[in-house]
Amino acid sequence: MTTPRFPHPLTLLVACILIAAALTWLLPAGEYQRREDPATGRNVVVPGTYAPVEAMPVTPFQALVGIPRGMIEAASVIFYVFLVGGGFAVVERTGALTRLVNSLVAALSGRGLLMIPVAGLAFGTGGVLLQMQEELIAFVPVLLLLTSRLGFTPVTAVAMSLGASAVGASFSFINPFQVGIAQKVAELELLSGWQFRVAFMLPALALWIAGTMVHARRTRVPVRPADGTGAIGPVAGWRHAAVLLTVVVSFVAFVIGVLEYQWDFDQLSAVFFVMGVVGGLLGGLRLAGTADAFVEGFRSMAFASLLIGFARAIYVVLEQGRVVDTIVHGLFTPIAGLPVGVSALAMMAAHILIHVPVPSTSGQAVLTLPLLVPLSDLIGLSRQVTVLAYQYGAGLCELITPTNGALMAMLAASGVRYEEWLRFAGALFISLLVLAALAIGIAVAAGV
């Protein structure tokens, strides 16, 4: 019996774009009024202001025009991916990465599975603190080298990096781009309810890491020792040491820039470009060899970069057709008539559905929570639980939705087909949803 295959990622995303265009013909156009929120510095919707507006259905040609517009809107992320790919292609060509990986494999001899919880906790912590996604594409070359040398599949590489980060972000108590913005919009004290969130964050990460280890052990294949070609030996020369030091310094600059100076993708792109140039020169590639390696890296990341723009185009089309607010209004309005506990679970389910056309967690927070906070006050549901429903629904959806450009780009860069990822992540996603539902139920009962 053959395993069903999803369409090619580009085919899948173009189909989603055309479906989005069709929705602009089928759904009534409507919009909420918006105001600037001083707490978040973003435009948020004004509750009770939804009203029909003039329909602007998107034609098939206009939908296709949405593709370059999506690329323009996602330009900073796209060029970040290009420059990360170029920088690491240079480092890889010097041979320094292969030496490092061989050293790690030797250190993990017979204990390769230990790498998964270590890496999973590290990347999961990145998700808890910073909601890392696109940033993780920088780690793809190292992760693929390491997992292949240990006999693990590329799915394992994605699971212990982006997957662990997404789970950490979903259950985080401090992530500024998700729970932080949501609590500001809900007028809650930052970090409030952190004890409750941590109590469910830990088992969520443990569940994901355990599932990753089970998959890795089940799909592991024997590997032959490195053959020693390509000047790969047990002792690295000064050039390789200098290249690896350049990589470490670049990641230190990356972390400091994000945490202390609020760097965005433009600044991070520059860091990895400099890393590639300096690493290439220190590694003996000279200017011509460094430039050639950059071109090779750009070529390898072209597909992953384009997927980000195609995914963004879906939201561009829906927004152009003025139906995004209609979708939100239609999903959340029926919740008002439900019992309190059921309404909280319904909110989480609605957030899952909304995250498909609105694949930004921070954008979803400022779009939906100004509507849900007054509603939760009206029906007697605590605002903290309302934030939890958003956090779990939108955050966990990042694991599987094809409109998540970071996920699709990571899969493409790692050579993992979407259906392969779903086969691995599907059962864990459902298990995490059950855990999230349990958390919401306990929060409602305990009056969190």
Q: How many angstroms separate the CA atoms of 361 and 168, rounded?
A: 14
| In a domain? residue 417 | no
Query: Could you tell me if residue 415 is inside a domain?
Result: no
Please give the backbone phi and psi of residue 43, each rounded to the nearest 5 degrees, phi first: -80, 125
Q: Is the pLDDT of residue 188 over 80?
A: yes
Q: Is the pLDDT of residue 330 over 50?
A: yes
Does residue 366 form part of some domain? no
What is the structure's pLDDT at 1? 44
Type and span of the H or E element at 44:
strand 42-45
Does 57 map to a domain? no
Token pair listed for 411: 């899969």
- The structure tokens listed for 430 are 């459902």
Domain range for residue 219?
73-315
The verdict on residue 108 lying in a domain is: yes
pLDDT of residue 235: 39
Express each pLDDT in 20-35 by its tens digit: 999 999 999 999 999 8
In a domain, 10, yes or no: no
pLDDT score recorded for residue 285: 93
CA distance 30 to 343: 24
pLDDT band with cut points at 50, 70 and 90 for residue 220 = very high
Mean pLDDT of 145-172: 95
pLDDT tier for residue 316 given thresholds of 50, 70 and 90: very high
**pLDDT tens digits for range 368-382:** 999 999 999 989 999
Residue 397's SS3 state is: helix
Angstrom distances, CA of residue 327 to CA of 69, 105, 342, 352: 22, 50, 20, 12
| Bridge-based pairing state of the strands 51-52 and 42-45 | unpaired
**Is residue 212 a contact partner of residue 160, using CB atoms and an 8 Å limit?**
yes
367 token code pair: 């779009």
Q: Are 115 and 108 in contact (CB under 8 A)?
A: yes
SS3 43: strand
> What share of the chain in percent tops pLDDT 90?
67
Q: Which residue bears the tokens 């409507």?
A: 30
Confidence (pTM)? 0.86
Average pLDDT over residues 362-370: 92
CB atoms within 10 A of CB 229: 7
Place of tokens 């939100």: 328
pLDDT value at residue 225: 60
Rounded mean pLDDT of 427-436?
97
pLDDT class for 326, splitting at 50, 70, 90? very high
Cβ atoms of 4 and 15 closer than 8 Å:
no
pLDDT at 230 over 70: no
In a domain, 67, yes or no: no
Lowest mean pLDDT among 82-86, 253-257, 351-355, 362-366: 253-257
- The C-alpha atoms of residue 222 and residue 148 are separated, in whole angstroms, by 10
Tell me what pLDDT residue 259 has.
74
Report helix, strand or coil for 383.
Answer: helix
Q: Amino acid identity, residue 417?
A: R
Alpha-carbon span 194 to 25, nearest angstrom: 44
Backbone region of residue 95 per phi and psi (left: phi > 0; alpha: psi in -120 to 50; beta: other values): left
What is the share, in percent, of the chain residues with pLDDT greater than 70?
96
For the chain, how many structural domains are there in total?
1
Please indicate, yes or no, if residue 45 is contained in any of the structural domains: no
How confident is residue 231, by pLDDT bands cut at 50, 70 and 90?
very low
Q: Read out DSSP for 322-333?
A: T-HHHHHHHHHG
Confidence label for 177 from pLDDT (cuts 50, 70 and 90): confident
Q: Which of 34-48, 57-71, 273-287, 404-418 has the lowest mean pLDDT?
A: 34-48
- What is the CB neighbour count within 10 angstroms for residue 311? 26
